[in-house]
Amino acid sequence: MTTVMAALTPVTAFAAEDPLQPYAQQQLRWERCETGGPAEFECAKVKVPLDYSDPGGRKIDLAISRIKADSAKERHGVLLMNPGGPGVPGLTMPVEMEQLLPAEVRERFDLIGFDPRGVGQSSPIGCDLTGDEQTFQHPYTARTFAKDVARARSVADKCWAKAGDVLPHITTRNTARDMDVVRAALGERKISYFGYSYGTYLGAVYTQMFPRHADRFVLDSALDPALAWRGTFRGWSAGAELAFTRWTEWAAARNATYGLGPTPAEVRKTYGELIARADRTPVPTTGGALSGGAIRSQYGAFVHVETVTPWIVALKAAAAGGPPAPATPTASAEPAVPGSAPVRSADAGAFGADVPADNQSAVTWAVFCGDTRSWPRNPEQYRRDVIRDRAKYPLAGDLGANIQPCAFWKSAAREPATVVSNDVNALIVQNQWDPQATLAMAQGMRRALHGARMVTVAGGEGHGVVVAGPSCADAGVTRYLTTGRLPAKDLTCGG
């Protein structure tokens, strides 16, 4: 089945003299998505400019999808969605989020998914990176720093050699511009939006660039726009230290069960000894031996006190000659690099496009390096930052501060980083113990969005509120999406 978009009225399109107006008038051919899913799950391609400063030049494809609102009578508009990353595909999000959203929301919105530019089925890029080059956080030692510098330089060189004509245009601001083209092509005056993790930053940038086109914006697990992006990496270490301190208190109170120490200080000492021992002799696990740095890279797991503790016990036993420990903390779904979503869009194969194996990593660096000019160019600055942050945040300070490919990116960001500061209404929902979009980061987003409200889930663990399933924040999200009404003030609810 194929349908063609109706002609737009001037209020939903761009001004007649705007060079983007032809993009608003393009015909969208909706067809059954090749990714599978229900019969009502449709996909289309939208043409957008590669370079918005030259809208008449090269064009790229943007893959979008939809599930129409359940009620034509109650329909309010469209709800665009982004699952984070950057670099995570979102084409199948309507199918995934349909299961999480209540009927009152589904009947009011067309659920719109899309793969951001460069991602998945949207003119994907790749850099031919090795597995090691796709690992984002590396522990620092004076002995291995030269290797870290060489790795970062290699990633930058490979990306520019493989995709240098496209990389400068894979940015958050351009993705926000793409969203506005999608809005116009769909014939909408405004868009509503659900963004998760990095998607909260993308949503905030959209509200700053297109405030009159922003309707109801839900930001789940928010990042501080003022920290993008070097500050975000370093900010994870502070959140990790808070979660680790909480865990030492929890484990000490249960020393009779776990035997890690009767006081928080003793638990911390036990963990430190385990890491030091693993750095000398990696600990055998079911997935291979783990160094101390590799164990520390799982710092996000410390928010899940009941699942990380048996893992630490098993590692301690394995280090002393016992059976191999599990390779990761069971039930801890926290990825090594904050920003990736549990709502994963497995849309490879749609439209027959070939997606490079390192597509997410390539886009991640394109965005992180292309969004901002804040990355130091001198490797010695990273060394100094690592030493400073590791002293302040022993658990993971070096993992966040170590050198990254942005130090060697061939071209500085073409635009300044977006300063987010506006009165657009938005609802931020946040777990208190999120290791990736930390509570402090979400509070930074709240300060930037003066018209927003924030609902914090007290005791909430892990990355994601709405995307993780039922919570005490759900009622507020439903009320906002269905009525547009925000809470009268910021709230904390009880888990």
Q: Which tokens belong to 200? A: 């909260």
463 belongs to the catalytic site? yes
61 belongs to the catalytic site? no
224 belongs to the catalytic site? no
User: DSSP string of 287-301?
Assistant: TS-B-HHHHHTTGGG
Residue 134 carries which DSSP code? G
User: Residues 197, 332, 361, 471: which is the catalytic one?
Assistant: 197
User: Residues 347, 389, 434, 474: which is the catalytic one?
Assistant: 434
Q: Cα 265–334–350 angle (5° rounding)?
A: 175
Strand, coil or helix: what is 93? helix
User: What is the rounded distance in angstroms from the CA atom of residue 149 to the CA atom of residue 424?
Assistant: 41
Helix axes 359-370, 145-163, angle to 10 degrees: 100
Strand order across the 109-114 sheet: 3-4, 29-32, 42-49, 59-67, 109-114, 77-82, 191-196, 214-220, 427-433, 453-461, 491-493
Nearest CA-CA partner of 3 in 35, 36, 43: 43
Please check whether residue 441 is in contact with residue 236, taking contact to mean a CB–CB distance below 8 angstroms. no
Beta bridge partners of 456: 430, 492
Going 86 to 204 to 7 to 19, the CA torsion angle's sign is negative
Alpha helices (H) along 61-218: 93-98, 103-106, 145-163, 172-185, 198-209
User: Residues 220, 463, 471, 474: which is the catalytic one?
Assistant: 463
By CB atoms closer than 10 A (0-12, 13-18, 19+), residue 104 is middle
Residue appearing with tokens 């509200």:
207
Q: Which residues are catalytic?
A: 197, 434, 463
